[in-house]
DNA sequence: TGACACATAGGAATTACTACTATATAGTAA
DNA sequence: TTACTATATAGTAGTAATTCCTATGTGTCA
């Protein structure tokens, strides 16, 4: 993602923050910037290490709390998976994930039919649906 | 699930163990029995509490390790989700899950079209696919 | 029945995440 | 510009979940 694109995302992020009453702290923007510019679906720990380069005194809790906040306001989300370290995604484009069970890499792909899967009516009626996910697990090209 | 059905599952489980070279310990069988007879997708902790009634001295680690072993040999699996306590499923029937984000209940449903979703060729070629999951998240009937 | 590789019990250690609190600062209004 | 206040952060402690370690026990097989 180009510098210009990242800047544009940050601009839109600042608007989201103002709308939701969140303060625009330099830490928050820095965390968002690192999350949105990568497609590696980093953990809080990984982002903590990156943000430390600009904010040597930032605490892990601030990074983690901020990421949960981003998830709350819909600026990012927690990646689905089976019981590993929590991973975050700053891309709100419709897409799906492949996760390697060995190296834990999470790789984006987009298959349009997966965006519009229809649930049986019985489920839709009984529950309030927030998220429908198609998720693929296996061994990646580098590991096999 | 009836007593007879559970017994049949356990019989088949003993065959699986012999095939994979796993020893048939009473603890292992008891853990499997509790997992297979419920549809509540228990955590290791919950199963530990149940198995303790028959094996008061069993350790948590034995329960957890056994569950991971069951996942290894394909007698059970780890339920997909976004970053909560690890949950297990003893049913190897094709089915899907709805998870309530509030009470964390995991509810089985079965929608046949979801069993046969087709991945784009690019993904199937590049990676070794082990699992394709359709996963639904929301608020359950009891919570909303 | 004996040998031994695998499994378990008990507890310690590690990892992941969350809570607490004093200090700092973004937003706002004088 | 300045002062105020609610929110955010830093530093640290605490909790929860999971994994590791090791001595002892036991299922399996010869
Ligand atoms: Mn992604
Ligand atoms: Mn299930
Ligand atoms: Zn891999
Ligand atoms: Zn619920």
pLDDT at A80: 87
pLDDT at A49 over 80: yes
Q: Determine the nucleotide nearest to B57 by Cα–C1' distance.
A: C9
pTM of the model: 0.92
Q: How close are the terminal C-alpha atoms of chain B, in Å?
A: 28
The residue assigned the tokens 């891309």 is A91
Interface of B with A in 64-103 (CB under 8 A): 78-83, 86, 98, 100-101
Work out the pLDDT band at A141, boundaries 50, 70, 90: very high
- Calculate the angstrom distance between C1' of D11 and CA of A29: 21
Taking an 8 Å cut-off on Cβ atoms, the answer to whether A136 and B138 are in contact is: no
d(CA B87, CA B79): 5
d(CA A62, CA A55): 11
Q: What is the pLDDT averaged over residues A99-122?
A: 94
Taking an 8 Å cut-off on Cβ atoms, the answer to whether A80 and B135 are in contact is: yes
pLDDT at A66: 97
pLDDT at A13: 97
pLDDT at A131: 93
Residuewise pLDDT in 10s, chain B (144 residues): 889 999 999 999 999 999 999 999 999 999 999 999 999 999 999 999 999 999 999 999 999 999 999 999 999 999 987 778 999 999 999 999 999 998 999 999 999 999 999 999 999 999 999 999 999 999 999 998
How close A15 gets to chain B, by Cα (Å)?
A: 27
pLDDT at A144: 85
d(CA B26, CA B23): 10
pLDDT at A1: 84
Query: Are A135 and A96 a contacting pair, CB within 8 Å?
Result: yes
Q: What contacts B92, CB < 8 A, 6 or more positions away?
A: B74, B75, B76, B77
pLDDT at B1: 83
Give Cα A82 to chain centroid, integer Å: 16
Strand partners, A137: A99, B131
Task: Specify the long-range contacts of residues B12-15, CB closer than 8 Å, at least 24 apart.
Answer: B13/B75
**For the segment B41-73, what is each residue's pLDDT rounded down to a tens digit?**
999 999 999 999 999 999 999 999 999 999 999
- Calculate the angstrom distance between C1' of D4 and CA of A32: 29
**For the segment A66-89, what is each residue's pLDDT rounded down to a tens digit?**
999 999 999 999 998 767 899 999
Query: Are B108 and B95 a contacting pair, CB within 8 Å?
Result: yes
């Amino acid at each position: 993602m180009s510098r210009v694109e990242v800047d544009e995302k940050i601009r839109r992020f600042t608007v989201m923050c103002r709308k939701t009453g969140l303060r625009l702290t330099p830490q928050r923007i820095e965390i968002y910037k690192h999350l949105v510019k990568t497609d590696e679906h980093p953990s809080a720990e990984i982002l903590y290490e990156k943000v430390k380069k600009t904010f040597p005194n930032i605490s892990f809790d601030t990074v983690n709390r901020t990421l949960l906040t981003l998830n709350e306001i819909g600026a990012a989300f927690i990646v689905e998976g089976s019981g590993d370290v929590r991973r975050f995604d700053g891309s709100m484009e419709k897409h799906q994930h492949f996760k390697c069970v060995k190296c834990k890499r999470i790789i984006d792909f987009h298959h349009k039919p997966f965006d519009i899967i229809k649930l049986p009516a019985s489920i839709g009626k009984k529950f309030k649906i927030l998220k429908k996910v198609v998720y693929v697990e296996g061994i990646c090209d580098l590991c096999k």
